[in-house]
Amino acid sequence: MTIINPNVLTEQANSTKDEKLGIIRTRLKAVDWTFPGRGKFTGIHDFHWYPARFIPQIPAYLIDSLSKKGDLVLDPFCGTGSTQIESLLLMRKSLGVDAQPLAVMISKSKTAILPKATFEELQTSLRLELAISLSYLNNLDVSGTKTCNLELKKSEMVKLDFEQDNFDWNNKYFLRAAQYLAVPEIFLKDKWYHPKTLLELAAIKKAIAALNEIDENVSDFKNLCLVAFSSILKKCSSQKNHYSYVADNMIPKFLQYEPAMKYFWGQIAKYNLALQQLGVELRQVYGSISRLKELIQTQVGDARKLTFVGNETIDCIVTSPPYQGAIDTSTAHRLSTYWLGFDLASLKNTEIGARWRRSRADAFQEYSNDMILIFREMNRVLKPGGTVALVLGKPSARIRPMEITSLVYEQLVGQLHFTEICPPIIRQTVPERKSVKSIQEDIIVVLSKS
C-alpha cells in the first residue's frame, strides 16, 4: 500500500494554482488596454446613455482571462449590462446587480430577442394604441403611426395652437389632454419640454402601458419600449447642454419643439436591428437562444448587502465600482426618473460616492465605509480560488484625492487575504470617458481569493 504524503499534494495544488495565475498574468500583460481603433459604443452596447460605461472590450478580455466556460460571473454594479452581454457571448452565466432600476431595465432590454413576427405584431399594436391616444388631438405629429379608423366629431376634437409665442399652459384643452395622457405633474410646473413634445411623449408612455402583458414576449417588448422612450427624453427636452445640467436641475429658459415620435420609432428600429444581430451571434455560439433567461439574470440590489447571493457561489467578479465624488447617476437620469415613476430622493440618498456629497467633511470616510462593506460581500460570495477584476477611476486633483487602489489592497489583500495576480494596470481614459471629465485614467486591479 502506497502512503501519499499530504505535503506533496499541497505542493502540487500550489503549483497548479501558480501555473494558472502565471497564465493569467501573461495574458493580461499581452493586451493593449487602450484597445486602439475600437470606435464608439455601437450595436447592443449603444442602447441608452449612461455615465462612466466601460468599453465592452475591457470586461470581455477580463472575463475570458479570469474565468472558464460555464462559470458564473457577477457584476454588482452592472449599469447597462456590458459585463453580462460579454459573459453571454463567452459562454459564461452572469448575474448583474444595480441599485438603479433604470440600469436594470436597460440591461434586461439587451436580451429581448423576439421572433420577427412577434416583434412586428407587437409594434403594430403599439402604433394602434398611439393612434387612439392622439386621435382627438388633430394637430399633433403622429408620424410613424398607422392610420386609425377611429373617427370623432369635429366638436370633440381638440385643436391647440402650439405656434404661439406665448403658449397658454393653463389652456383648459391642453390641461384636459395632459390629464388624459397622464403627463407627470412636475412637467407642467418645471417646463423641460415644448408643450407639443410633452404631449407626444405622454402619448408614447400611455400607449406602452396599454399593451396587455399576456406573456413574457409582451413583457420584454414593453421593457424594450420603455428603455427606448427613456433614451430620447434628454434629446426631446429643451435643455441642450450636457447631462450635468439635468443633474443640477437647470431647467431650460427657451422651449423648442422636438419630434418625439420620430425619435422614438428611430430608437425602436435601431434596437431591433442590434437585437437581431446579437441573436445571430448567440445562435452561432449556442445553436439556440431559448435558454437565455437561464444564463443571464439582472436585478435591483445593493452591492453592500447581496442577500440573494449564496456564500461561495460566484466564480468571477468583474465590475467598475462607483467613483468617489465624480458622478450623480440618479439625478443625471432625472427626466427618466420622473417619467418612469421612480423615487428620486431615495435613489439619490442611497447612491454610493455621489458627486453631491463630495464637499462634505466626511465624504471620504463615508465612501470608504461603503466600499469596505462591498469588499466583504465580494469575499463572501466568491468561491475559493475565484477571481476579481476591479476597474477603478482615478480622479483629478480638483477633487480631494481618494486613493481607491490603496483601499482595495488594504482590505482585499491585507484584511481578506486575496492574492495579487499582477500589478495594477493603468489605462488612459480618453476619449471613452468624456462624460466624466474628472477621471483621467483607469486602474485595473486583478486579484484571486485564497
What pLDDT was estimated at residue 10? 45
Mean pLDDT of 355-365: 82
pLDDT tens column, 305-348:
999 999 999 999 999 998 887 788 999 999 999 999 999 999 99
pLDDT tens column, 421-434:
999 998 876 554 44
Q: What DSSP character marks residue 441?
A: E
Mean pLDDT of 59-88: 96
What class has domain 6-103+294-328+363-448?
alpha beta
pLDDT tens column, 58-72:
999 999 999 999 999
What pLDDT was estimated at residue 143? 38
Amino acid identity for residue 193 in this structure: Y
Rg (CA), the chain: 25
What pLDDT was estimated at residue 74? 98
pLDDT at 435 exceeding the cut of 60: no
Burial class (CB in 10 A: 0-12, 13-18, 19+), 4: exposed
For residues 193 and 148, the model is more confident at 193
What pLDDT was estimated at residue 149? 37
For residues 448 and 177, the model is more confident at 448
The whole-model pTM stands at 0.88
What pLDDT was estimated at residue 255? 93
User: Quick one: residue 245, left, alpha or beta (phi over 0 = left, psi -120 to 50 = alpha)?
Assistant: alpha
Cα 258 from Cα 70, distance rounded (Å): 47
Question: Which of helix, strand or coil describes residue 30?
Answer: helix
What pLDDT was estimated at residue 160? 67
pLDDT grade, residue 404 (50/70/90)?
confident
What pLDDT was estimated at residue 81? 95
Cβ count near 440 (within 10 Å): 15
Cα 153 from Cα 148, distance rounded (Å): 14
What pLDDT was estimated at residue 332? 94
Question: Do residues 48 and 274 lie in contact, with contact meaning Cβ atoms separated by under 8 Å?
Answer: no
Cα 226 from Cα 219, distance rounded (Å): 11
Cα 124 from Cα 71, distance rounded (Å): 40
pLDDT at 78 exceeding the cut of 60: yes
Highest mean pLDDT of the ranges 23-27, 117-121, 143-147: 117-121
Mean pLDDT of 38-55: 83
What pLDDT was estimated at residue 434? 46
Which string of b and e fits 114-141 if b means at least 16 CB within 10 Å? Answer: beeeebeebbebbbbbbbbbbbbbeebb
pLDDT at 235 exceeding the cut of 60: yes
Which string of b and e fits 400-425 if b means at least 16 CB within 10 Å? Answer: eebebeebbbebbeeebebbebbeeb
Q: Which of 277-281, 328-332, 403-407, 415-419 has the lowest mean pLDDT?
A: 403-407
What pLDDT was estimated at residue 324? 81
What pLDDT was estimated at residue 133? 78
Domain residue limits, the chain: 6-103+294-328+363-448, 116-273
Q: Could you please report the per-residue DSSP string of 398-419?
A: TSPP--HHHHHIIIIIIIT--E
pLDDT at 140 exceeding the cut of 70: no
The total number of residues written for the chain in this structure = 450
State the chain's mean pLDDT as an integer: 86
Q: Which of 49-58, 128-137, 222-231, 262-271 has the lowest mean pLDDT?
A: 128-137
Closest CA to 98 of 319, 324, 425: 319
What pLDDT was estimated at residue 150? 35
